[in-house]
Amino acid sequence: MSPINITLQDIAEKVGGRVIGEGTTPVVRPSSPEKAVPGEICTLWNTRECGKIGHGAFLMASPDIFALLPGIQGVEVDDPRAAFPLLLSLFQQPKQAGGMVHPSAVVSADADISPTAWIGPMCVVEENAVIEEGVYLQAQVYVGYNCRVGEGTVIEPGTVLLRSVRTGRNCLIHSGAVLGCDGFGILPAEQGKAPVKIPQLGGVLLGDEVEVGACTTIDRGTLEDTILGSFTKIDDHVHIAHNAVIGENCILVAMTGIAGSAVLEDNVVMAARSGARDHISIGRGATVAANGGATKNVPPGAVVSGFPARDHQEDFRIQASMRRLPDLLSRVKKLETLLEDLRSPEGSIKRTEKTDEGTR
């Protein structure tokens, strides 16, 4: 149930829509169309779902859909898909308000903690760390030496920020993420010698409103920072290696791996289990499809797939050809058998007989 009283008018103001019905009508919570009960609101963005709405539920939809469902109350919007996140945000559990340092937290005397920040149970904040206004460290969060957590940022339980990690404003870092661990800089073993670890002296820098998924790891750079641009969204179980530069508005989906010093320009999408090798560039607005592995530069706006990644349509044609291989192999075997028959003595006699018959 919603922690506050929300009406149809409240929703309309939040999403920039128009009330259909009585604006003071209370709304319990959002729901899916097929499971909505009286008092709940569901969102539709195509007419195919009109028949799924539960009796007595409210609706957020376009004028065209309301025209098909006379008598239903709700909120009319021009773009229901764009309004949907705004609707859900009204019903989010609010973070703790006001400043507090929990008695079980360990905070260095040299740390700079805003009086409006919330430092939850068993958090650790090391020296020279800065925790800005409205930051919310939920519980068991480690903030290392020389870190800065930007205004309004929320960090969920069990997250680790090692030294020299700086976030922008209003970031969200989910449980179990580790930012600022050593980049994997290794000199390979030479004859009779062990591999040599290269010290990693850089940090990690996040822009504003960056989201980092659960159990994601972001390594610090060797000399400079590993960088994530503002508004970039990282899913769970993603790895970003040292010195990588991720632009603004990028989306990296689960199990993606970005190798060291790779550059993703703005608005790049890396689909699930995709990857980019070290020192390559993926151009602005490009997409690497699921399971795709970019081994060379990807042009701006391109859509690539497969391994090594190539133009998506070309990869489809290759996959289609691969599916035809069993049939092609069978046809080749038949042709080989026919050729062997023609090359045999019996085949020569048959060809001679046919030629003789043709001359009679």
pLDDT reading at 104 higher than 60: yes
Annotated active-site positions, please? 242
Q: At what angle do helices 325-343 and 312-323 cross, to 10 degrees?
A: 50
Q: Give the end-to-end CA distance of the chain in Å, rounded to a whole number.
A: 98
pLDDT reading at 242 higher than 50: yes
Q: Domain span at residue 332?
A: 326-359
Within a domain: 236:
no
Cα Rg of the chain (Å, integer): 30
Which long-range contacts (C-beta less than 8 Å, at least 24 apart) are formed by 116-121? 120/157
Within a domain: 355:
yes
Total number of domains in the chain: 2
End residue of a domain, out of 71, 90, 109: 90
Within a domain: 37:
yes
Q: Which residue from 90, 137, 91, 132 is spatially nearest to 115, judged by alpha carbons?
A: 132
What pLDDT score does 281 carry? 97
End residue of a domain, out of 90, 123, 152: 90
CATH number at residue 56: 3.40.1390.10
What pLDDT score does 282 carry? 98
What pLDDT score does 191 carry? 85
What pLDDT score does 358 carry? 57
End residue of a domain, out of 42, 74, 90: 90
Within a domain: 73:
yes
What pLDDT score does 1 carry? 40
Q: Would you place residue 239 in the very low, low, confident or very high pLDDT band (cuts 50, 70, 90)?
A: very high
In contact, 154 and 95? CB cutoff 8 Å: yes
Within a domain: 227:
no
Within a domain: 1:
no
In contact, 36 and 53? CB cutoff 8 Å: yes
Percent of the chain clearing pLDDT 70 (strictly above)? 93
* Between 89 and 323, the higher pLDDT residue: 89
Q: What is the pLDDT of residues 144-175, one digit of tens each?
A: 999 999 999 999 999 999 999 999 999 999 99
Average pLDDT over residues 351-357: 56
Average pLDDT over residues 126-152: 97
Average pLDDT over residues 181-201: 91
In contact, 226 and 220? CB cutoff 8 Å: yes
Q: Range with the lowest mean pLDDT among 39-53, 107-121, 251-265? A: 39-53
326 burial via Cβ count (<10 Å: 0-12, 13-18, 19+): exposed
Percent of the chain clearing pLDDT 90 (strictly above)? 73
The tokens of 40 are what? 């709940």
In contact, 6 and 59? CB cutoff 8 Å: no
Q: What is the pLDDT of residues 3-17, one digit of tens each?
A: 568 999 999 999 999
Q: Each residue of 104-134: b (16+ CB within 10 Å) or e?
A: ebebeeebebeebbbbbeebbbbebbbbbeb
Within a domain: 67:
yes
Within a domain: 187:
no
Average pLDDT over residues 51-61: 85
Q: Would you place residue 338 in the very low, low, confident or very high pLDDT band (cuts 50, 70, 90)?
A: confident
Q: What length does the chain have?
A: 360
pLDDT reading at 241 higher than 70: yes
Q: Each residue of 223-235: b (16+ CB within 10 Å) or e?
A: eebbbbbbbbbbb
